Every structure is written in structure tokens, then in C-alpha cells.
A = this chain, B = another copy of it.
């Protein structure tokens, strides 16, 4: 697993950050808009955002006095790909095993 992918799963390992990602997926939001429903401080959201941004899941930009947060779909795609790679590796093994059994004399 590449360090970049590790950062993605580390980031998504926290429920608050997952909620933030979910919310951002519905459209760009400000820091306050994220903080309010979560019931945590702006500072806390800022800390999560920095991590999410570092992981490549989110992109944010300051517009005036507010910060607008957007999703980086590539981050999520990398998550999908790692999970899929693991799964496929396992399933391929099962397939080979099945073929082997099929090839047994008088199966």
C-alpha cells in the first residue's frame, strides 16, 4: 500500500471526518456549515480539513472571510481501487481453487 493510500484510509478512519466528506460530497460548504451540524468548534473542523486536504480527499479555498470546501473525487477513487484490488486478489484465488477442484479426476 502506497503512503498516499495509507493517508486516505487514516483520514477516513475518523467518524467526524467521514461525516465531513459525506457533507462535502453533496456540494461545496463553508467551515461553519460543517461545524454546526457536527456540534464541534470551527477550530476542530479546521484541523480535520487540513488532514483531509493533505490526504487528497478535499480541496479548500478561502473566499473573503469564508473558506469553501470541495471534494477531490480522485481521493475516493483511490480508496475504491485499493479495496477492489484486495478483493479481486482474494476472489481470483477462489477461482483458481475452483478450477483446480473441477479438474480433479472423477469430480
Residues of A within 8 A of B (CB): 1, 6, 9-10, 12-15, 18-19, 21-22, 24-27, 71, 73, 76-77, 79-80, 83-84, 86-87, 89-91, 93
Query: Which residues of chain B come closer than 8 Å to A12, judged between CB atoms?
Result: 9, 12-13
Cα distance, A19 to B89, chains bound together (Å): 14
- When the two chains form their complex, are residues A6 and B26 in contact, meaning their CB atoms are under 8 A apart? no
A18 CB, min distance to chain B CBs, angstroms: 6
Instruction: Tell me the bound Cα distance from A79 to B83 in angstroms.
Output: 7
Q: Which single member of B9, B15, B71, B79 contacts A6 (CB below 8 Å)?
A: B15
- Secondary structure type dominating chain A contacts: helix
Q: Which of B71, B73, B86 contacts A76 (CB 8 A)?
A: B86
Nearest chain B CB to A107's CB is how many angstroms away?
22
Chain B residue at smallest Cβ distance from A77 = B87
Verify B1–A9 contact, CB threshold 8 A.
Answer: no
What separation, in Å, do the CA atoms of A90 and B75 have in the docked complex? 12
Q: How far is the CA of A105 from the CA of B52 in the complex (A)?
A: 38
- 8 of the cross-chain contacts (CB-CB < 8 Å) are A6-B15, A9-B9, A9-B12, A26-B89, A26-B93, A71-B86, A71-B87, A73-B91
